[in-house]
Amino acid sequence: MNKGMSEIVKNISKIVSPFIIIFGISIIFYGHLTPGGGFPGGVIIAASFVLLLLAYGREKVLSKLSLYKSDILHDIGAIMFLSVALIGFSGGIFFLNFFDKGKLFSLWSGGNLLFSNIAIGLKIGTSLFLGITLLSMIRIVYKKNKIEFYEKEEDIK
């Protein structure tokens, strides 16, 4: 996963991957009206970044979205979800749904489902992208009787 692929793969993945990200965001935002929600949308966003990682190589993708930034986005998602739960606790019941629920079938309906979906989508998308990128950072080749390390590993920050 260190070197990229040929020119045809690079050009096509450059065109296709914004559409995948927009599709994932649409599944997250309309999670209370159509099938989907936070979990499929987050996994689709992670899959689009893995497509860019496979086509362009590890160095170029990490210069745009470094490991430090995706770590911060992961923490923002977790804090958002916990704050929605704990602010509801001040009303007397854990997870009280305190927003105003609009009409059925419009975008603003269902109370705090919209914020929870966005928080979960952020958390899962960045988690899985971190996990798959870290797996590609270490590469060892075992030849005959001695081990040669081709470690091109960077620090986390």
Partner 1 sequence: MIVYIAISIMFFVGIYGMMVKKNIIKMIIGVNIIGYAVNLFFIVIGYKNGGIPPILISGMGIKEFVEKAVNPLPQALVLTSIVIDLSIICFLASLSIRIYEKYGTFDLEKIRRLKG
Partner 2 sequence: MVINIGFHIFLLLMMVIGAGIAIFSKKLISSLVSLGTVGMLLSIYFLILGAPDIAITQLVVEVLTLIILLSAITGRDVTADMTSSKIYGFFLFFIFIISIITIFSYSYFIFPEFGNSNMRVGKEYLYLAPSKLKAANAVTAIVLDFRGYDTIGEATVIFTAIIGVMVLLRKKGKKDE
Pick out residues in 125-144 that bind partner 2 (CB under 8 A).
127-128, 130-132, 134-142
Nearest approach, Cβ of residue 10 and partner 2 (Å): 18
Q: Which of 12, 33, 76, 93 binds partner 2 (CB under 8 A)?
A: 33
DSSP collapsed to 3 states, the chain: CCCCCCHHHHHHHHHHHHHHHHHHHHHHHCCCCCCCCHHHHHHHHHHHHHHHHHHHCHHHHHHHCCHHHHHHHHHHHHHHHHHHHHHHHCCCCCCCCCCCCCCCCCCCCCCCHHHHHHHHHHHHHHHHHHHHHHHCCCCEEEECCEEEECCCCCCCC
Name which of 4 and 38 has its Cβ closer to partner 2: 38
Nearest approach, Cβ of residue 64 and partner 2 (Å): 20
Nearest approach, Cβ of residue 119 and partner 2 (Å): 9
* Residue 8 engages partner 2 in binding (rule: CB under 8 A): no
Name which of 39 and 99 has its Cβ closer to partner 1: 39
Region from 10-18, 58-66, 119-127 binding partner 2, contact rule CB under 8 A? 119-127
